Structure 1
Amino acid sequence: MTEQNLASANRDVVVHSLQNFASLAVVGGEHSVVIDEPREFEGDGVAPNPFGLVLSALGGCIAGTLRGVARQHDFDYDRATVRLSLRVNRPTGGPLDPGERALRIARIIVRVTVHGALSADQQQAPRARRRDLPGRQHPAPRGQPRRVGGVRGMSGLDLVVDNARLVDGRVVSLGVREGRYALVGEADAAEAGTRIDAGGRLVTESFVNGHMHLDKVYTLPMAGDGALTAYTSDDMGAAMRSIVEDASAVKRHYDRSWIVPNVRRALDRAVTHGVLHVQAFVDVDTTAGLEGMEAVLAVREEYRGLVDIQVVAFPQDGLLRDEGAARLCEEALGPGADVVGGIPWIEASDRDALRHVEWACALAERTGARVAMLVDDAGDPSLRTTAMLAEAMLDHGLRGRGVACHGRAIGTYPLPSVIRLVDLARTAGLGFVSDPHTGPLHLPVRRFLDDGLAVALGQDDIEDAYYPFGRHNLLEVAFLAAHTLGFLTDADQARLLDMITRRAARVLGIEGHEIAEGNVANLCVHHDERLVDVLREHAPPRWVVRAGRVVAESEVTSRILRPH
């Protein structure tokens, strides 16, 4: 730019005060812009604030510089996006004093995205120019965590995630030491072994899957479509018979040689998608024996340090229907199963269903285990095994230690019956897991949430006798539930996220599963800033962190090849 052009570009700026704190800036006598303070600074918020205009000017300079660098290197690109945010320091805390204007810009965060088909050399051109600046630290390659030498001690952190956008809208740094959050706030001066720049993208807790039939994953080709057809019919009328007859046929061929690789595949998908807690139902009965249980327990040891798995000893074919299943379930609790399972609605009578529930809760009381059951899983309003479970939990001192999965029949109850059940479940501390994508009926989720019950969403199945899809992706489950349950507003989307993170953890009795100092640092850094985009795309998180260690990373890339 010549000296004459530079002088033209820097013509005088005259600012005129307007009403309250607003003002009008006239640039060079030609262009004008209104400036106002935000409402929290006692302005009217009718125009950009001064800090916003500073960022706008800086962003315009960066965008223009990028275009100039591209032309200097004889190439071009479609467009560039420059995203800027800043942090300010105030000398005092508390409410803003009307006379206080001593604000200082502490940090400006810049994220630049260039859109277009660029070669590797062209992508590096702006960086090469940037490295020439005196005193500049060379950054890590784009999209990679930066490892720096850190000092342990008061400020030494193992991991820092900068510019993390939390669900409440705050943009913070997350500092982790020895697997736990040591800092949620400013971390400018803190050194760390690993540093990730989230770039203002959404960061959430890792996901919790409260209902997964882990021994059956990828068995649909063996099972055929009989159970799938019956289970997904309008009223699920034939579901009971299909479970006992069609779906159970696979278990005659149970063998660790194929169960183990299937389970590994499902758990790899879990880690990639940020699912770090799983409640896994494993069939234990006279057909399957302990074959599936031993396979799942073996893989659980392999994945220790990646996924926490609560294993449920699950008598899929019933206890009264399948004599010998109770003994096998009790045996399974010895080598490593954590939870007593049940499926009382599948028994032949209400009396047998009650005996089924009583057996499970008595065993849980005796062993100190939790209890988890599939309840009322058909379109029959006469099914009442959820209430049986809640009452038995109270009788056996299991308050807060039980989970009811499905409960589809509850959606067909008359309102007075629903209200009675809600009050009973609240008293018992009974949590619920709904899987509305795997069947035509579902729990009345909204009513249960409105009444303060703990409700989670679960994957349930991955390509087995009851559901042909599934990727162990709870964002995908939440996306499907948004449509099935009608959870579409911003507030509903926040509830969906809660049902696969914090509230889901509460259902399983997992404490401290939220981004807060002192809690275990299990988190996901997503590709987008807004929750609606994260749900829409339901992509694997950019980074998955377990106890302060990056355990998975994924990149989403695509390119349109336009004709010349």
Structure 2
Amino acid sequence: MNFDLLIKNACLQDGRRNIDVACSNGTILAVRPNIEESASVTIDAQGQLLSPPFVDPHFHMDSTLSLGQPRMNISGTLLEGIALWGELKPKQSVDDIIKRAIHYCDLAVAMGIGAIRSHVDVCDDELKSVTAMLEVRRLVAPYLDLQLVAFPQDGLLRDPNAHANLIRALDMGVDVIGGIPHFERTTQDGTSSIKILCELAANRGLRVDMHCDESDDPHSRHVETLASETLRLGLQGRVAGSHLTSMHSMDNYYVSKLLPLLAEAELHAIPNPLINIMLQGRHDSYPKRRGQTRVPELKAAGVNVGFGSDCMMDPWYSMGRADMLDVASMGLHVGQLSSRADMAWCFDAVSYNSAAIMGLQGYGIVEGGQANMVLLQATDPIEAIRLKATRLMVFRQAKLIAQTPASHTKLELPGRPSLIDPAKPLL
């Protein structure tokens, strides 16, 4: 048999080494050692890590790369970022949003990202962000899975037109129902918004992803209601709570009750390590809270956890480079996930776990899976996170779509090696 693509001598995420991966017609047909058949294209991985593409389950593509428009976030806080986004929305055009978003998608693909879930603000009566992002989704479909969330940024009940706009966005083709219950004016309104949105999801057969309890307030407990509504409506496995930062401030007794509820509801959790560590704890002096939700405890309770990047160069976050290994590294450090098993799990949190959150089909280096893969300049997931490993090759449907030269440093030191490979710290 003549394959379209054959990658030989790869390491896989599960620890297998010297594995060959053969693909035809955009599908992985064989994953095993010593495949002898020929292929139109054969690549020797030379023992490097072959991974499925990275998955970002939480991003805001309608605001990305807008840093400094119309002004900078002087305080660097979450609330000033929300206010600044409110200033930008009426000024930007659909074309502005498309241009920024497409450029971000280029960056993301180059960094090995194959799927993104982006929240799209519907608190704009013109629905400019929705119109723009639907067009972006169409344009990038050949090389990137883009899932869109109808997100009432200003509050489903707090904004007088948000509910109607959200329905319009869904009718236009947006995939997922979003919410922000902690930003409603009262706790009761937050609870009501969750019930309205979950019932809408149940009626339409859609997934739910809510910004939930993005606060340092231990009494912001909307995730409890989100889990309860998930169970009441039979939405298990289709609902995600993003951020969940108030959990880092809750007392342990309450959390001991909450975690089993989240697990029973099969709720997905999406911490956003870069943004959470930057924006939370702003009212603290010292000691200062870390900001990230209780990742080790959620993981131990059996809750599926996927790390999101959230923002890049926008009103909320001036940094970022579309790198899910940056995200995994920050999640590892902030969560003190320092055992070898936990560090390797952090790679899962930006790949398989997040693919499950998005409900991606055919994901993974498995026979019958889609031939979407990334070859990294590292030999295992931990090393990939440590090095923020170079994405040597990115494949979509078995076709090479991005390539980056290996990272090496040339030394001019007498008696020392002339070339240093960061993936080989010991000679």
TM-score normalised by the chain length of structure 2? 0.89
- Give the aligned partner of residue 358 of structure 2: 508
Q: Which residue of 2 aligns with 1:189?
A: 36
* 1:324 Cα offset (Å): 0.7
Residue among 262, 279, 298 paired with 2:117: 279
Distance 2:54 2:409 in 1: 30
Report deviation, 1:439: 2.5
Note closer, same or farther for the CA distance 1:324–1:476 as it changes in structure 2 (3 Å cut). same
Hey, what's the Cα distance between the residues in 1 that align with 2:271 and 2:70? 24
1:163 aligns with 2:33: no
Q: Is 2:92 the partner of 1:254?
A: yes
CA deviations on 1:514-533 (whole Å, 9 max, x unpaired) are: 22211222211111224333
CA contact (8 A) 1:223 1:465 kept: no
- Find the aligned partners of 2:111 and 2:118 in 1 and give their Cα distance: 17
Q: Measured at CA, do residues 230 and 559 of structure 1 come closer, stay the same or move farther in structure 2, by a change above 3 Å?
A: closer
| Paired residues of 1:274 and 1:540 also in contact (CA < 8 A) | no
- Residues in 2 aligned to 1:257 and 1:512: alpha-carbon distance in whole angstroms: 33
Deviation at 1:189, TM superposition (A): 2.0
CA distance change for structure 1 residues 318 and 368 in 2, over 3 Å: closer, same or farther?
A: same
User: What is the deviation of 1:363?
Assistant: 1.4
Q: Within 1, Cα distance between the matches of 2:376 and 2:82?
A: 41
Shift of residue 417 of structure 1? Answer: 1.6
Offset from partner CA, 1:352-402 (integer Å, 9 cap, x none): 001111121111112111111000001000001111111112222211111
| TM-fit CA distance, 1:474 | 0.3
Amino acid at match of 2:148: V
Higher relative contact order (Cα pairs below 8 Å, separated by 6+ residues): 2
Tell me the equivalent position of 1:267: 105
Structure 2 Cα separation of the partners of residues 508 and 286 of structure 1: 26
1:330 aligns with 2:180: no
SS in 1 for 2:89: helix
Question: Which amino acid counterpart does residue 26 of structure 2 have in structure 1?
Answer: G
Measure, in 1, the Cα distance between the counterparts of 2:223 and 2:18: 42
Distance 2:250 2:72 in 1: 29
Separation (CA, whole Å) in 2 of partners of 1:229 and 1:529? 38
Q: Distance in 2 between matches of 1:517 and 1:228?
A: 50
- Are residue 488 (structure 1) and residue 320 (structure 2) matched? no
Matched residue type, 1:272 = A
Q: Secondary structure at the match of 2:124?
A: coil
Q: 1:390 is matched with which residue: 209, 221, 227?
A: 227
Q: Which residue of structure 2 aligns with residue 366 of structure 1?
A: 203
1:456 paired to 2:306: yes
SS in 2 for 1:300: helix
**1:177 to partner: Cα distance:** 2.2
- Partners of 1:223 and 1:279 lie apart in 2 by 26
Q: Check the 8 A contact 2:273/2:309 in 1, yes or no.
A: no
Partner residue in 2 for 1:12: none
Q: Does 1:214 align with 2:61?
A: yes
SS in 2 for 1:221: coil
For residues 418-457 of structure 1, the aligned pairs below 5 Å read: 418-440=255-277, 441-457=291-307
The CA deviation at 1:200 is 0.6
Equivalent runs, 1:298-313 vs 2, <5 Å: 298-313=135-150
Segments ≥4 residues shifted beyond 6 Å: none
SS in 1 for 2:68: helix
CA contact (8 A) 1:512 1:519 kept: yes
- The letter for the 2-side match of 1:161 is I
Q: How many residues align?
A: 400
* Larger displacement relative to structure 2 (194-203 or 222-231): 222-231
Q: Is the 8 A contact 1:256 1:295 kept in 2?
A: yes
User: What displacement does 1:549 show?
Assistant: 2.0
**How far apart, CA to CA, are the structure 2 residues paired with 1:486 and 1:258?**
40
In the alignment, is residue 474 of structure 1 matched against residue 324 of structure 2? Answer: yes
Contact 1:223 1:464 survives alignment (8 Å): no
The amino acid across from 1:157 in the alignment is F
- What stretches of structure 1 of length at least 5 have no aligned partner? 1-154, 232-238
C-alpha separation in 2, matches of 1:469 and 1:367: 37
Contact 1:159 1:548 (C-alpha < 8 Å) held by counterparts: yes
Match of 1:291 among 103, 123, 128: 128
Shift of 1:559: 4.5
If you compute each CA radius of gyration, which structure gives the higher value, 1 or 2? Answer: 1
- Which whole-Å CA distance do the structure 1 matches of 2:130 and 2:198 have between them? 21
AA aligned to 1:292 is S
Distance between the aligned counterparts of 1:501 and 1:384, measured in 2? 28
C-alpha deviation, 1:351, in angstroms: 1.0
The corresponding residue for 1:380 is: 217
Query: In 2, distance between residues paired with 1:228 and 1:445?
Result: 28
In structure 2, the CA distance between the partners of 1:201 and 1:429, relative to structure 1 (3 Å rule), is same
5+ residue gaps, structure 2: 278-290, 415-427
Query: Alpha-carbon deviations, 1:403-446, whole Å to 9, x = none?
Result: 11100001111112212221111121110111122133111001
Give distance in 1, aligned partners of 2:251 and 2:407.
49
Distance (whole Å) between structure 1 residues aligned to residue 35 and residue 314 of structure 2 = 49
> Who is 2:185 aligned against?
348
Mapped to 2, the partners of 1:163 and 1:375 lie a distance apart of 44
Asked if the contact 1:456–1:504 (Cα under 8 Å) also holds between the matched residues in 2, the reply is yes
Q: State the shift of 1:562 in Å.
A: 3.0
CA–CA distance in structure 2, aligned partners of residues 182 and 534 of structure 1 = 26
Preserved contact between residue 208 and residue 504 of structure 1 (Cα < 8 Å): yes
Give distance in 1, aligned partners of 2:74 and 2:90. Answer: 16
Q: 1:365 to 1:438 in 2, by over 3 A?
A: same
Shift of 1:226: 3.9
Alignment correspondent of 2:280: none
Tell me the residue number matched to 1:51. Answer: none
Give the conservation status (yes or no) of the 8 Å contact 2:390–2:407. Answer: no
Distance 1:561 1:518, change over 3 A: closer
- What is the aligned-residue identity percentage? 29
Distance in 2, Cα, partners of 1:431 & 1:360: 17
* Equivalent in the alignment of 2:283: none
Residue aligned with 2:76, SS: helix
Change (3 A) 1:432 1:227: farther
CA RMSD in angstroms comes to 1.8
- Give me the whole-angstrom Cα distance separating, in 2, the residues matched to 1:563 and 1:349: 65
TM-fit CA distance, 1:536 = 2.4
Amino acid at match of 1:448: L
* TM-score normalized with structure 1 length: 0.68
